[in-house]
Structure 1
């Protein structure tokens, strides 16, 4: 069997490594537009901020490694067309310009995503940059070195992380977003308020509830001003972080897609064409809190899905269990994470929910130090199944969100959460684990005995 893999970042790399190790009798051919594989774009802010000293350490594989596993690696090769009926692809060598036709038995679409570039006047001015791949990371580093003011557009994870990195490097920073608060897709207001307060204390300018209408530049063609619906901001450099869209134009009209172009897949990672598999940012994910197929571009999803593609192509059938969209963030000493639905996304999905909120210290107060922890857990009003959770603390309590991700995936109820077996050791936690506390408080609330159990478990 011959397998062609198109694109080799996270999902593609995982698919190739898994397939090659499980079945070395399969012919694996990889076509990748770039000259590298497996770049961790989530590390760009760490590189920009000087935490990651060597950018080469942001790669966890290489063309040489994949070649050593038996894959035929064609770097800087772009697939121009897919003929799904004939099982053919037309490929262009970007170095020579030559084109060729190749055939496959199974095709793996791991083409990933690309930053959204809105059609704004002046968008092509110099010093308006994207933040996605290795070359862009180096360009950001080079151009940010000697300038004073940087404007970041988009207050999601990437934008917020870059703002922190620039601020730590002594830059003046403006963060622009159309929503009324930062990180609104991942955390509810009481959590984002904490981060915004930290930004204000560090003189980071937040320009929220406004959208960019124009970029202005100087005679040299470099951006000098960002004009929004509410104001004007002088700047030396702009980083666009307004979201991503899947790279799936090659399959338009050939397989079932979401409206944004994400490939719909079944539980074995196959598209509507059983000979075409898909994984990572190019496709939709099964979102367990709602049961719907949605677009959540995350490296963790990509690696899991790519690995499943490898197993299924090798003949070891494994089902995709879906995702909760679990993610974490570290900003100015705060550790935060979320999984599943927030109050905002639950309302948008018209899901009737209840919530329990815990404000506690992470360790007993007799210990020499302890930190406040803020936890929120959402659960279904009728079934009481856990739907989502968020946490923030100076202490690293984020693994609790991984635990709650498992709870959502296994359809655990909030009441069951109160009695899960967690260890107690004063160096790490309290006799009643914070997650137990959430479950017990919810249970008492359900029995209309507010406060009694909450007082007891402390």
Structure 2
């Protein structure tokens, strides 16, 4: 069987590694990748900028040589710009020589990833306005930030918040701009973001929330100012962290997609063409909390999907279980993690929901030290099914989001979590785990509302 893989970051690397282990030479894999690197962990860019990871090369967990040694043909610096599904071939271009050619396939694996969204405003092409996605972006940010003192980050999602902190650790003047009136609004509710915004402000990050960038201004071709609908900010450097869009333009009108272009896949990760699979940032995912297809570009989704495609290459063996969008972030002294939906998304989806919010200590009060844990559950009002959860503390309790993820995936109800069996040891937790406690409070709330 001849398989062509388009793109090779997380999903592509996972597919190739697994397929070669499962099938060896029975599957011939040719990979087309426009860059000369694979498997870069973009979530590590802020760690590199902040000095936690000194060597950015350590943010790679594979290489073209590693995948070649497994038996894959790695066509680096090649771009696929056309696909013929009827005759089953791709049209590719060697970006070094300009040569174009056709290559036939039996199966196609689309792991073409995503690309940063660039606001379409005047001045967007000025020098010093940078993206944050791949290895080369990381190098550009690191090099440009050496001589930049005033840095503006646009977008207060995970990447923007992490970069703002990283620049602050480097002694920079940092402004963080977002069109929303809260940071991390897609992931966390107000109880959490208020604390995090105070934390960022106290650590010297200027927050410009509820503001829209209307233009960039420069001198001698270099950015000097960011103009919003409310203010003007001086900038030696700007980093855009305004989200991502799937790299799927060549499949437009050929495969079924969400309105934003993410390829829709079935439970075995076939696209609307049964001989073409999709995974990672190029694909939509089945989102269990809302039972709908959503675009959630996370490395965790990518590696699972790429691996499952390998198992399903000859026959449909493993169903993709969907995702809860579980994720986490460190914001100065706070450790934060979330799984499933928050109140904002519940409202957007028209879910009849209720919430419970509690503050618990992570360890018994008789211990020498302990920290508050802020925890919130979102659940369906009719039957108590858990659809979301958020946890935050100066102690590291983020692994509890994985517990919430399993609970949401398996449609646990409030009563199931309230009496779930968790271990107790005073160094780590309390006799009632804080997940038990918050669920018990939700159970009491439900009982009162039913009387």
TM-score (norm 2): 0.98
Secondary structure at the counterpart of residue 415 of structure 1: helix
**1:32-59 C-alpha deviation (Å, 9 max, x unpaired):** 0000000000000001111011111100
Q: Which residue of 1 aligns with 2:285?
A: 285
Q: Which residue of 2 aligns with 1:87?
A: 88
Q: Which residue of 1 aligns with 2:397?
A: 397
1:142 offset after TM fit, Å?
0.2
1:80 offset after TM fit, Å?
1.4
- Separation (CA, whole Å) in 2 of partners of 1:237 and 1:448: 55
1:333 offset after TM fit, Å?
1.5
Verify the 8 A CA contact 1:337 1:398 in the aligned structure 2.
Answer: yes
Q: Which residue of 2 aligns with 1:271?
A: 271
Correspondences of 1:302-321 after superposition (within 5 Å): 302-315=302-315, 317-321=317-321
Q: Which residue of 2 aligns with 1:100?
A: 101
Q: Which residue of 1 aligns with 2:146?
A: 145
- Separation (CA, whole Å) in 2 of partners of 1:440 and 1:258: 39
Verify the 8 A CA contact 2:200 2:331 in the aligned structure 1.
Answer: no
Structure 2 gap segments, 5+ residues each:
none
- Post-superposition, which runs of at least 4 consecutive aligned residues in structure 1 deviate over 6 A? none
TM-score (norm 1): 0.97
- Separation (CA, whole Å) in 2 of partners of 1:444 and 1:231: 47
- Separation (CA, whole Å) in 2 of partners of 1:246 and 1:387: 26
Verify the 8 A CA contact 2:268 2:316 in the aligned structure 1.
Answer: no
1:435 offset after TM fit, Å?
1.0
Q: Which residue of 2 aligns with 1:76?
A: 77
Secondary structure at the counterpart of residue 375 of structure 1: strand
**Residue 37 (str. 1) matches residue 38 (str. 2):** yes
**Residue 117 (str. 1) matches residue 118 (str. 2):** yes
Verify the 8 A CA contact 1:23 1:314 in the aligned structure 2.
Answer: no
Q: Which residue of 1 aligns with 2:183?
A: 182
- Separation (CA, whole Å) in 1 of partners of 2:203 and 2:420: 41
Q: Which residue of 2 aligns with 1:440?
A: 440
When structure 1 is superposed on structure 2, of 292-301 and 201-210 the one drifting more is 201-210
1:446 offset after TM fit, Å?
2.2
Q: Which residue of 2 aligns with 1:199?
A: 200
1:210 offset after TM fit, Å?
1.1
- Separation (CA, whole Å) in 1 of partners of 2:229 and 2:378: 35
- Separation (CA, whole Å) in 2 of partners of 1:185 and 1:68: 41
1:203 offset after TM fit, Å?
2.2
- Separation (CA, whole Å) in 2 of partners of 1:244 and 1:193: 26
Verify the 8 A CA contact 1:22 1:314 in the aligned structure 2.
Answer: no
Verify the 8 A CA contact 1:417 1:438 in the aligned structure 2.
Answer: no
Verify the 8 A CA contact 1:211 1:228 in the aligned structure 2.
Answer: yes
- Separation (CA, whole Å) in 1 of partners of 2:74 and 2:48: 27
- Separation (CA, whole Å) in 2 of partners of 1:446 and 1:91: 59
Secondary structure at the counterpart of residue 313 of structure 1: coil
Number of residue-to-residue matches in the alignment = 449
- Separation (CA, whole Å) in 2 of partners of 1:305 and 1:213: 38
**Residue 364 (str. 1) matches residue 364 (str. 2):** yes
When structure 1 is superposed on structure 2, of 173-182 and 350-359 the one drifting more is 350-359
**1:286-328 C-alpha deviation (Å, 9 max, x unpaired):** 0001100010011111111111111111546100000011000
Q: Which residue of 1 aligns with 2:23?
A: 23
- Separation (CA, whole Å) in 1 of partners of 2:383 and 2:301: 27
